Structure 1
C-alpha cells in the first residue's frame, strides 16, 4: 500500500512540473493541427514532454484557466477571437503560432482588403454565427508571439523543433533569407529560366524548398522575407518575360495583410 501511494505522489509531482500546453484553433481549416498527429513515430515522445491540458480539435471541454504554453492556429477574424488571443497572451508564458493563417493571416487574409463590403456580397443579413467580424489579421498583429511555425500546412518536425525550443530554450535564430538560397543548395532548376513565376525569390526560407524540389513553384506560404526586395523581384520578372503585376497578384495569397506588398511601408 505504501509503495502504491509513493508512486502516486511521484506521478503527481511529475505532472506538476511538466509544461502545461493548450492548442487553440481560430479561423483556419485545422489542417495544421492535424499535421501534428502525423509525427506518429515520435508522437508519444512529444506528448511525454508536456501536460496537454486542452486541444480544441479533440475536445469540447472548456479551456483551463492556467497553462504555460499556448499553440494558436488560424487567423484573427472576430472580436471574440481577438479577445481570446489577448487572454492567451496574458496567461501563457509562451505563445506559438502554427501555420500560415496564424503567421500571416493566410487564406482568411485574402478577404482583408475592402473587408467590410464583403459580407453584404454574400449575405442579405449577416448570420449571428459570424460574430462581430474584424479585418482578418495574423496573431502577431494583436499580441506579441514568441515562436512561429510557418507553411501551409506546417511540417510536423518543424513543429516539434519549435516546441522543443519553446520548452527548453534555444539560441537558434529565425530564418530571414529568401528561398532562392535553399534552391541553390539543393541544385534545383530555377522556374524563372523557363519564364514561370516562382515566389521563392521573396519568400522567407526554412522549409528546404520542398515544393520546388517536387517540381512546383513556391507559392509563398511561409510569408514575405524581411530581406525581400520587391523592386528587384519585379525586375527579375521583366527579364524572364513575366508581368510584374503577376508577382504582386500572387503575393496576395499569403501576404494580403502585409503592408510591404502594397507600398504602405
Structure 2
C-alpha cells in the first residue's frame, strides 16, 4: 500500500467517491450501510458519484476516491481496476475478496481447466475469464479494509484516514496476541483448529471472543510462521492436512502459502 493521502492533494472541497463491485457477494457494500448511527455523517463528507449497489447510472469520468469490493476474475474486471487506478487519487479495497481474492480465489488453482469441466462451450456472458486474484495483484492499492465482511466502523476509520491523513500503523502481527490480551481460551487446547496463529490481526479476535475459531478471513500475516504453525498442530493433535486445507479459503493465491509447502 502506498499510504497516499487525499488531504495532501489539491482536490475539490468535497471528495468525489465511486464504489465498485467485482466478483463478490456485495456483502461488504451492504455492511457499509449498517453504520446507521454514522452513515449520514460520513456521506456528508463525501460526494458519492457512483455506487454500483444503489444505482445503474454510468460511472463518471472524474473522481477522487475509488472503493473496490470483490476479486478480479475477468479481463474486463482487470481493465476496470486499471482505469480506476488511473483516475483516482486514492484506491481503497474492502473485504477479503478484494484484499486476498477471498472465496473466488479458492478456484485459482487449475482455474483455466475448470470451465471445460462445466461447459462444453463457455458462454459469452462469462467474458474472458482469468484466474481469480486480489485487486493489489493488478494495481497499487492505498488502503485496505480486511475481513469478511468488513466491519462498518473499520471502513469509516480507513475512509477518514484516506480523506484527512493519518500516521496510524497497519498491524502485521498475528491474531494470537489479541486472544491473549482478551484472555480468551485457546482452541488448540481443545484439539480444535483455529487460524489465529497465522492470520493478520486487526479485528480484535472477535470470532474467538464469540466462541468461534478464527477462519483466517483477514489473510496471512506477514509475520506468520507457517512451518512453526504446522508443528503446533502436530503438538496439539490437530491434523496438519486440515490446517493446510483451511488456509486455502482466504489465502489460495498468497505466494507465501505455496512457498511454505
Q: TM-score, normalised by structure 2?
A: 0.94
Q: Which runs of 4+ in 1 moved over 2 A?
A: none
Residue 257 (structure 1) shift:
0.3
Give the structure, 1 or 2, with the largest relative contact order (CA under 8 Å, sep 6 or more): 2
Report the RMSD for the aligned CA atoms in angstroms.
Answer: 1.2
1:32-47 alignment runs, 5 A limit: 32-47=28-43
- Where does residue 239 of structure 1 map in the other structure? 235
Cα deviation, 1:6-29, whole Å, max 9, x if unaligned, reads: xxxxxxxxx941000000000000
The whole-number CA distance in structure 2 between the counterparts of 1:248 and 1:188 is 24
Q: Which residue of 2 aligns with 1:18?
A: 14
Compute the displacement of 1:264 (Å): 7.2
Deviation readout 1:207-234 (Å, 9 max, x if unpaired): 0001001110000000000000001100
| SS of corresponding position for 1:173 | coil
- Taking the aligned partners of 2:12 and 2:82, their CA distance within structure 1 comes to 25
1:172 is aligned to 168
Match of 1:110 among 106, 109, 132: 106
- The residue that corresponds to 1:73 in the other structure is 69
**Alignment of structure 1 residues 140-155 onto 2, 5 Å:** 140-155=136-151
**Distance in 2 between the 1:174 and 1:16 partners?**
28
Q: How big is the shift at 1:259?
A: 1.2
Alignment partner of 1:216 is 2:216: no
SS in 1 for 2:204: coil
- Provide the aligned length of Structure 1 versus Structure 2: 251
Match of 1:202 among 190, 193, 198: 198
Q: What is the match of residue 125 of structure 2?
A: 129
Q: Secondary structure at the match of 2:229?
A: helix
Output the TM-score relative to the length of structure 1.
0.93
Tell me the residue number matched to 1:64: 60
2:186 is aligned, of 184, 190, 194, to: 190
Which segments of 5 or more consecutive residues in structure 1 lack a partner in the other structure?
A: 1-14
Mark the runs of 5 or more structure 2 residues left unpaired by the alignment: 1-10
Q: Which has the larger radius of gyration?
A: 1
Aligned to 2:248, the other structure's residue is in SS state: helix
